[in-house]
């Protein structure tokens, strides 16, 4: 694989950083660098970037807000694309009776979108209160919780596939489920959500209630990536079990490796202390998974996305 900035991206309308410190900008606040971080300024530059990477066999990863991501200490190869240019941060509202459709750029911050829809008195996005990241990452993860998930209000997803083709998918066709979907690989550029006009005070009260609940149950002031593991399904009942409760019952609250610790407040959060490395977090994830399996007989699957160099993946 030949990788030179000039041959790959030099002439494109893309802001390029070499040896970019992406780990430090994730919510864990630690981890390695990206050989190339590319922030396209237009959709056509993004499409050309995807085509060139495909033609030259260069791996492409997409970084949203880094709220569900662990970057290995050795960093990542290829191109990391981030849609943080203003071009990918617009929200366009169209009202039709009491239903408002919002076209949301993939780079829009979820906190901002919750605030903006609250201010406009639009109901249907309150469940995202307290969930950090971008709209693109939220769609990819189908982020959510006890109050609902992003797919509940999602109508369409626009994506540039890794061969540079552009697609608009009907959300209903994408098989959205708990923290997953059948969405193909690619770079989500926009989504449309459908919201309902409501009393702004009611919307605000719901946002406040959800946020307060999260603040009282999650270590929000610490560095983490939210829940480390997905909630598993009990094979005998088909019902979802709480990964946090299983980790707690296995006696793992407070367990530490290096600077990574299983939170005392919420057992499914791994938090970092000064001096933590991505390797500490990876080792702790492995240890928690192994001990929950041996003590509770349940296999946990990480929810945190872990990036490594291609030859180490």
Ligand X SMILES: Cc1cc2nc3c(=O)[nH]c(=O)nc-3n(C[C@H](O)[C@H](O)[C@H](O)COP(=O)(O)OP(=O)(O)OC[C@H]3O[C@@H](n4cnc5c(N)ncnc54)[C@H](O)[C@@H]3O)c2cc1C
Nearer CB in complex with ligand X: 23/226 = 226
Q: Which residues contact 38 (CB under 8 A, 6 or more apart)?
A: 9, 14, 15, 16, 49, 79, 80, 81, 82
Binding-residue pattern over the window 134 to 173 for ligand X, x denoting contact by CB under 6 A? x-xxx-xx-xxx----------------------------
CA 46 to chain centre: 20
The verdict on 62 binding ligand X (CB under 6 A) reads: yes
Is residue 49 close enough to count as binding ligand X by CB under 6 A?
no
Q: Is 53 a catalytic residue?
A: no
CA dist., res. 172 & res. 282, Å (int): 35
For residue 80, the cross-strand partners are 37, 61
244 is an interface residue for ligand X by CB under 6 A:
no
Strand ordering across the sheet containing 76-82: 14-20, 34-40, 76-82, 60-63
Residue 25 has what DSSP assignment? Answer: G
| Active site (annotated) includes residue 227 | yes
Which of residues 36, 45, 53, 69 is near ligand X by CB under 6 A?
69
Check if 126 is active-site. no
Q: How far is CA 121 from the centre of its chain?
A: 26
CB–CB of 71/26 below 8 Å? yes
Distance of CA 166 to the CA centre of its chain: 21
Among 39, 153, 191, 227, the active-site one is 227
Measured from the CB atom, is 230 or 295 closer to ligand X?
230
Q: What is the distance between the terminal CA atoms of the chain, rounded to a whole angstrom?
A: 17
Strand partners, 287: none
Which residue is listed with tokens 């610790």?
261
Binding span for ligand X by CB under 6 A among 56-64, 113-121, 198-206, 256-264: 56-64
**Catalytic member of 179, 255, 283, 295:** 179
The answer to whether 260 contacts ligand X (rule: CB under 6 A) is no
Minimal distance, residue 96 CB to ligand X, in Å: 27
226 touches ligand X by CB under 6 A: yes
Binding span for ligand X by CB under 6 A among 43-51, 131-139, 245-253, 293-301: 131-139
Interface with ligand X (CB under 6 A): 27, 61-69, 83, 106, 131-134, 136-138, 140-141, 143-145, 187-188, 220, 224-226, 305
Active site residues per annotation: 179, 227, 303
């Amino acid at each position: 694989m030949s990788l030179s900035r000039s041959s790959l991206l030099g002439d494109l309308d893309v802001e390029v950083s070499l040896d970019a410190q992406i780990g430090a900008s994730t919510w864990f606040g630690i981890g390695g660098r990206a050989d190339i971080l590319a922030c396209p300024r237009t959709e056509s530059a993004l499409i050309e970037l995807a085509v060139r990477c495909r033609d030259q066999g260069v791996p492409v990863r997409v970084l949203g807000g880094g709220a569900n991501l662990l970057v290995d200490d050795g960093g990542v190869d290829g191109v990391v694309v981030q849609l943080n240019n203003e071009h990918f941060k617009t929200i366009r509202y169209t009202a039709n009776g009491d239903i408002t459709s919002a076209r949301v750029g993939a780079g829009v911050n979820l906190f901002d979108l919750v605030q903006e829809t609250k201010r406009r008195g639009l109901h249907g996005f309150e469940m995202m209160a307290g969930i950090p990241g971008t709209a693109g990452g939220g769609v990819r993860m189908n982020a959510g919780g006890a109050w609902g998930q992003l797919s509940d209000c999602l109508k369409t997803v626009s994506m540039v596939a890794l061969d540079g083709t552009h697609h608009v998918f009907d959300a209903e066709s994408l098989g959205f489920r708990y923290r997953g979907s059948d969405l193909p690989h690619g770079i989500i550029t926009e989504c449309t959500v459908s919201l309902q006009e409501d009393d702004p005070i009611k919307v605000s009260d719901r946002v406040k209630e959800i946020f307060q609940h999260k603040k009282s149950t999650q270590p929000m002031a610490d560095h983490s990536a939210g829940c480390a593991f997905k909630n598993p399904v009990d094979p005998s009942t088909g019902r979802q079990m709480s990964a946090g409760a299983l980790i707690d019952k296995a006696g793992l609250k407070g367990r530490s490796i290096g600077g990574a610790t299983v939170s005392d407040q919420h057992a499914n959060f791994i938090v970092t202390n000064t001096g933590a490395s991505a390797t500490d977090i990876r080792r702790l994830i492995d240890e928690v998974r192994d001990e929950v399996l041996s003590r509770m007989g349940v296999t946990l699957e990480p929810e945190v996305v872990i990036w490594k160099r291609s030859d180490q993946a």
